[in-house]
Chains A and B, each alone.
Chain A
């Protein structure tokens, strides 16, 4: 009996420490220091009341230029396990200054998914970006909404409104639930709220930031709705000629629920979805830790490349986070420049955001602001 008691006490201690670890991970506070370009901060619930006060009532940072123009929405954290996407939105909210138009920036499009990691994936629960002021820590996150927030999963997820059958867990995937529905699941309500934002704020186009495994064919590319294909093709040509190779792909009609298809079909706006390479997501990766997440170096993925199994190149230098962040900032800036050139009345001119070469030279952390030295009214938590 004494032995049983000792084992139960050890088990209880394990449960307490595991519980505390999960709690800390889920509730880790991530400060955003709203930069001088942020005119106001709303939340997603301001556009659809059923999201108000829920875990997905994320912040919407609104940057406004002195000159009237168009409106663009940037979504970071659709899949929070793709960290470059959230870091780019941080850089925009903390540094961006608009000369014309309005820019809506979301750092945690699926906030629920940022509070959990992949079950059995052995993910780290957080990662830190080094800065001159000591570094900033972010939640790791997953691809799908936290099952604690949306449960149970159906046997088969049926997309609304098309009725297409998709994998059961994609009912919690923010990029399979567009355009959403007001009476649906948390994830469907979230995409419905974004659709309301797009309609209310007369958004011209949406930029949905992503990262992809190298074994996935849709990588290092811009996926565009037919309404945005000219813009995506021009951006691809300019970037491939001047900074780095990036392709362009057409949004398939047969696969439903994705931002690049449904936003264009259900509103006046269209979506451009950017993909950058993230070896951390590859199935053949080695140890799944924060080092791999940030350095993007993995011998097993390199070996897969030597056997012709990848859709993007990789060498011993890997795909570091600064390269992935820089690809996204440069692609955003190029797309906005080209859009403004073509639509001067609906232009969006964004300044003070680093391009590819500058992010690689200085590091992502150089563009994150220290909350300890910021005014408290400028600090918002994700």
Chain B
């Protein structure tokens, strides 16, 4: 259970970093990459099985 909580905290932290980079980015290619990278993180956070 503790590992699971830590896992979700880690996923949330990485998702936060990706979103921050997405907002800072000036290149559309990078923005698209950040959005695609964000998808599995969000699916995990939303616990979509």
Q: Which residues of A contact B (CB under 8 A)?
A: 3-4, 7-8, 10-11, 14-15, 18-19, 22-23, 26, 148, 151-152
Contact = CB atoms under 8 A, between A and B. Distances in A.
B49 A148 contact: yes
Contacts of B3: 152
Given A26-B49, A151-B7, 19 more contacts: A3-B28, A4-B23, A4-B31, A7-B31, A7-B32, A8-B22, A11-B32, A11-B35, A11-B36, A11-B38, A14-B39, A15-B42, A15-B43, A18-B43, A19-B46, A22-B43, A148-B49, A151-B4, A152-B4
B38 to A, nearest CB: 7
Contacts of A11: 32, 35-36, 38-39
A240 to B, nearest CB: 45
A14 to B, nearest CB: 6
Contacts of B46: 19
Contacts of A22: 43, 48
30 contacts: A3-B28, A3-B31, A4-B22, A4-B23, A4-B25, A4-B31, A7-B31, A7-B35, A8-B22, A8-B35, A10-B32, A10-B35, A11-B32, A11-B35, A11-B36, A11-B38, A11-B39, A14-B35, A14-B36, A15-B38, A15-B39, A15-B42, A15-B43, A18-B39, A18-B43, A19-B43, A19-B48, A22-B43, A22-B48, A26-B49
Contacts of A19: 43, 46, 48
A116 to B, nearest CB: 10
Chain B interface residue bracket vs A: 10 to 19
Nearest to A8: B35
A15 to B, nearest CB: 5
A23 B46 CA distance: 13
Interface string B17-40: 000001101001001100110110
A82 B25 CA distance: 45
